[in-house]
Amino acid sequence: MEKGNSVLTRLTASICAATILAGAAFTPAFAARSGAGVSLTGAGSSFDFPFFDKAFSVYNSKYGVSVNYQPKGSGAGIAQFTQKLVNFGATDVPMNPTSELPAAVRAGGPVQQIPVALGGISIAYNIPGVKTGLHLDGSTLAKIYLGTITNWKDAAIKKLNKKVKLPDLAITVVHRSDGSGTSFAFTNYLSKISSQWNGYVGTGKLPNWPVGVGGQANLGVAQLVQQTSGAIGYVELAYVLQQHMHQAMIENVRHQFELPSPKTVAADAASFKKVSAANFSIVNGRGKNAYPISTYSWLLIYKHQTDATTGKALVKLTEWLVTTGQKYAAKLEYVALPKTVQQIGLSAAKQVSF
């Protein structure tokens, strides 16, 4: 894993810039390197940012193509892609087929949605005196986010943690304030586990949260959890590990409690042999040792590129990201895309015309 907090520092700067320049023209997250032959722009998933930050830097040094990416969240990325303000978008959930996708097609024609990253969503917490060993199941997690469990000494939590000394401390629920594919995957998991959650809140990128405080992007949630005694939040694994945050073990369908890791996320994804923009959910897989809150992330590219130079550069970048570039994902606690999923990505990229 990359040492230090350089990725998170750049993400903080990107989010601050995006807030200041809201409503203004697109501004790159980091400057293009001098001498770059082609410059590409993208926006969207903060889940992907640690991977993209490293991969795009390597790609620029190797091929002279700079990639300027703003990690503004999946919802904002889809919006900027649809408005044709960027060359590509990134989202942790494919575009909604009844609203988002038709709007994009009207704006720029057919869209290729390409799997580009695979990772786990950690349940991070800040409980004084509890560094490891916290166990949570889906039902209890749903009740925490519904606001029906409000204290770390609640009987349901104590039952799962007989060896953990839990304090009499109020729980602060932290969630995303922006439209987020990470939120979609998290609420999709809760919906599959809890009929109460499914009926009351359901699955979505920007659900009507019953309780809690919101943070902008993965970094915003991570910072709120770190700053708030008693807090709990869902954060992409790379951020949690880079910031040395504490995370809970989550029960899977085999009644095993697992931490997110490349191995346990891969075990979850292995339960889902075929993925597509229409069949993308991989939460709560049945594999042995599977971590149940996992997701693919997707690159959005218009199938018909109007500029040949940009189009060719975008296709080559995409082909590299879903194959060779995956070794950089693995170094940052993501899971390298399975070979079958890499082939799905390559096939989709090859269909882009210019």
pLDDT tens digits, one per residue of 75-93: 999 999 999 999 999 999 9
310-335, pLDDT tens digit by residue? 999 999 999 999 999 999 998 999 99
pLDDT at 32 > cutoff 90? no
Under a CB-based contact definition with an 8 Å cutoff, are residues 122 and 222 in contact? no
Give the model's pLDDT for residue 6.
52
Band of pLDDT at residue 10, cut at 50, 70 and 90? low
135-171 burial by CB neighbour count: b if 16+ within 10 A, else e? Answer: bbbbbbbbbbbbeebeebebeebeebbeebebeebeb
Question: Above 50 in pLDDT, residue 4?
Answer: no
Tokens of 87: 């060359």
- The maximal CA–CA distance of the chain, rounded, in angstroms, is 62
What's the rounded mean pLDDT across residues 289-312? 97
Residue 34 burial (C-beta neighbours within 10 Å; 0-12, 13-18, 19+): exposed
Give the pLDDT band (50/70/90) at residue 8.
Answer: low
Question: What domains sit in the chain, N to C, each tagged with a CATH number?
Answer: 6-118+297-350 (3.40.190.10), 121-294 (3.40.190.10)
pLDDT value at 16 more than 50: no
Report yes or no: 75 and 47 within 8 Å, Cβ to Cβ: no
Q: Output the six-digit token pair for 4.
A: 């230090």
Tokens of 54: 């490293």
The pLDDT value recorded for residue 36 is: 52
**Separation CA 65–CA 35 (nearest Å):** 9
Mean pLDDT for the stretch of residues 220-244: 95
| Cβ proximity of 299 and 181 under 8 Å | no
The closest of 269, 78, 268, 324 to 179, measured between CA atoms, is: 78
Torsion sign across C-alpha atoms 136, 142, 143, 147: positive
Q: Which residues lie closer than 8 Å to 26 by C-beta, 6 or more apart?
A: 41, 43, 70, 80, 85, 86
Segment holding 234, helix H or strand E? strand 231-236
Residue 274 confidence (pLDDT): 87
DSSP state, 45? -
Which whole number is the average pLDDT over 190-206? 97
